[in-house]
Amino acid sequence: MKLLSAHRCFGGVQQFREQASRETGTLMRHGLFLPPEPKALLVYLAGLTCTEETFAIKAGAQALAASLGLALLTPDTSPRGTELPGQAERWDFGVGAGFYLDATEAPWAAHWRMESHLLQELIPAVQRELGLDRVGRTGLMGHSMGGHGALTLALRHPGRFASLSAIAPICAPTECPWGRRAFAGYLGSDETRWAAHDASRLMAAQQAAPFPAGIRIDQGLADPFLAEQLLPERFEAACAAVQQPLALVRHEGYDHGYYFIATVMEAHLRHHAERLR
């Protein structure tokens, strides 16, 4: 890990660092908030257009995380610096829009390997560094595209995460424009392959509740993307079908942005801290 900067913050340190990734073939950046006494690790996956800095600057999480002993790991949202054709033509595909999967289609397959980067490289390295590589010490959460990533990665890798939550997640990407565009570009036109990255379909395929202590989702009802892109009712129905405890908390008047994220952040940090003790 190359340390890029470090800032004292609520008795701990907010770091920004860089890692040479074999999976993506690029330098990948991440943020890491270290509380005075790290007791557990919470990984936060950000949404479209965000970077490793967005959560640290906007979410207002460090003060409570410091008191709860939660280290906060915030990866970037895609590889950067690859200069692939078309990588920056859209805000919802390419740079800043990795969708937390391993692409199989050219030219993306060479570098857009966010799932393997996170699960094989970054998260294990930080767990070992902090001495938090024991089972039950790592939680996963995310927002929007990152909420999709949190739900799908937790379901695709059983046992890797002891707690799970999301804020305004993309719950059924095979059924919404954001997900269909990304999946077609990264995974190809065969839609049967897309289901392995759809949180609602993954949950519906479970034989038993994968998170018996419960999953938390917060959703603003004034979110402009709610009806067309997010579809939380699909995930809610899938959880009910397999008896997965789910707290889907709907908030009147709140939109999709970081003002909403900051509003519900305390509830999410406490959700994870209780399950990562």
Whether 190 is a known active-site residue: answer no
C-alpha dihedral sign at 60, 61, 62, 64: positive
Q: Rounded to an integer, what distance in angstroms lies between the CA atom of residue 114 and that of residue 276?
A: 25
Structure tokens at 265: 């952040």
| 3-state SS, residue 167 | strand
2-17: b or e for each residue (b if 16 or more CB lie within 10 Å)?
Answer: eeeeeeebbebebbbb
Whether 223 is a known active-site residue: answer yes
| 3-state SS, residue 42 | strand
Q: How far, in Å, are 53, 124, 154, 206, 238 from residue 241 at the CA level?
A: 37, 33, 18, 9, 5
Tokens 């557990």 appear where?
40
Please give the torsion angle defined by the CA atoms of residues 13, 14, 20 and 23, in that order, rounded to the nearest 10 degrees.
Answer: 120
**Residue 203 · residue 235 · CB < 8 Å:** yes
262-273: b or e for each residue (b if 16 or more CB lie within 10 Å)?
Answer: eebbeebbebbb
Whether 251 is a known active-site residue: answer no
Q: Which of 144, 163, 165, 200 is catalytic?
A: 144
Q: Which of 117, 256, 271, 272 is catalytic?
A: 256
Residue 277 identity: R
Q: How far, in Å, are 88, 107, 234 from residue 44 at the CA level?
A: 24, 27, 23
Q: Rounded to an integer, what distance in angstroms lies between the CA atom of residue 232 and that of residue 31?
A: 28
Q: Which of 143, 223, 268, 272 is catalytic?
A: 223
Q: Which active-site residues does the annotation give?
A: 144, 223, 256
